[in-house]
Chains A and B, each alone.
Chain A
Amino acid sequence: MYRSHVLVCGGTGCTSSGSQQIMEALTAELEKKGLQNEISVVQTGCHGLCALGPIMIVYPDASFYSMVKVEDIPEIVEEHLLKGRVVTRLLYQETVTSSGVKALIDTDFYKKQHRIALRNCGVINPEVIEEYIGTGGYQALGTVLTEMAPDDVIQVLLDSGLRGRGGGGFPTGLKWKLARQNDADQKYVCCNADEGDPGAFMDRSVLEGDPHALIEAMIIAGYAIGATQGYVYVRAEYPIAVDRLNIAIEQAREFELLGKDIFGSGFDFDLDIRLGAGAFVCGEETALMTSIEGHRGEPRPRPPFPAQKGLFGKPTILNNVETYANIPQIILNGAEWFASMGTEKSKGTKVFALGGKINNTGLVEVPMGTTLRTVIDEIGGGIPNGKKFKAAQTGGPSGGCIPAEHFDIPIDYDNLIAIGSMMGSGGLIVMDEDDCMVDIAKFFLEFTVEESCGKCTPCRVGTKRMLEILEKVTKGNAVLEDLDKLEELCYYIKNNSLCGLGQTAPNPVLSTLRYFRDEYEAHIKEKKCPSGVCKALLSYHIDAGKCKGCTLCARVCPNDAISGSVKNPHVIDLDKCIKCGACMDKCKFGAIYKQ
Chain B
Amino acid sequence: MRSHSIRQRLSAATPRARVPATTLLAVAAAVALHAPFACAEPAPEARAAPAVAAASDVATDVRVERVRPKREKHPTLRFLKENRDFIRARFDLLREKPDDHSGSAAAIDPRFLSYQHMLREILSARDSLAVAEDLRQRRDLFQSVTALGELEKELDLMENLLAAQRGRLGVMQADFTGRQQTALAIVVSGYPGDGALATLTITLDDGAPISIALSDEQRESLRRGGMLELFHGLVEPREQVLSIAIGGEGWPADDAGFVTLDPARDRLTFLRMDLTPAHAAQGAASMRASTWLQDTALDGSMVRASDGTPIRP
| Co-assembled chains A and B | no
